[in-house]
Amino acid sequence: MALSGSLPEARGRLAVAGYRLGTAALTAVALGFTAYRAGFSGSTGLVNFFSYFTILSNILGTVVFLLGGLSLLRGGEGAPDLLRGAAALYLVITGIVYGVALAHYDTPQVIPWVNTVVHKVTPLVFLLDWLIDPPRRPLRLSRAAAWLAFPVVFLVYSLARGPAAQWYPYPFLDPRAHGYPRVALSCVVVAAAFFAVGAGLCWVGRALRARRSTTTTAVKPAHSQH
């Protein structure tokens, strides 16, 4: 539906475009501020900065919301559902892993407001966005399985680079404390979370879209009588 359609539809599209662009701007500022600190303070370094799954998933989310918001303003359909689903999955996992496994770690170099944005605000908005605007077409699990490619590449990269750099992005990926068996167990748990959340996003998306399609079909005849 285009912005030139009915007033409620146009307002709805403007509202969705507004919060997507607003979230993209907020996340971009948070990422830019942190990247500047990492590059010039010497405490983290830009290579390590871009080696965090949190940072990479937030960069993807920023791009998806920016392109999707601009597309809606121009009368388009927004970002492709498969890409939006990937960003939603990565960010929701980011929020879950942070809350369950990372929030209690003392990291003095972390900027509190940035930490809140990338670990809490952006993941929550992406989850709500998926519920507010479910995928236009049902996403099959076979297609959504492509979402797992990036986490696998990230894991291989982190474990391959870690010994040379003497640095790991997250404690549960660091074998120096408890060995590789503990890392393997952590990876299995996180992989299960990826699969469960990804399947959940597909199922919820299909259910919400089917319900809205049924509601729209039921309402149209009533309008046609006036």
Secondary structure (3-state) at 159: helix
d(CA 136, CA 184): 37
- Length of the chain, in residues: 226
pLDDT tens readout for residues 52-105:
999 999 999 999 999 999 999 998 888 999 999 999 999 999 999 999 988 887
Q: Where are the domains of the chain?
A: 7-221
pLDDT tens readout for residues 103-154:
887 665 678 999 999 999 999 999 999 999 999 888 888 889 999 999 999 9
pTM for this predicted structure: 0.89
CB 43 within 8 A of CB 31: no
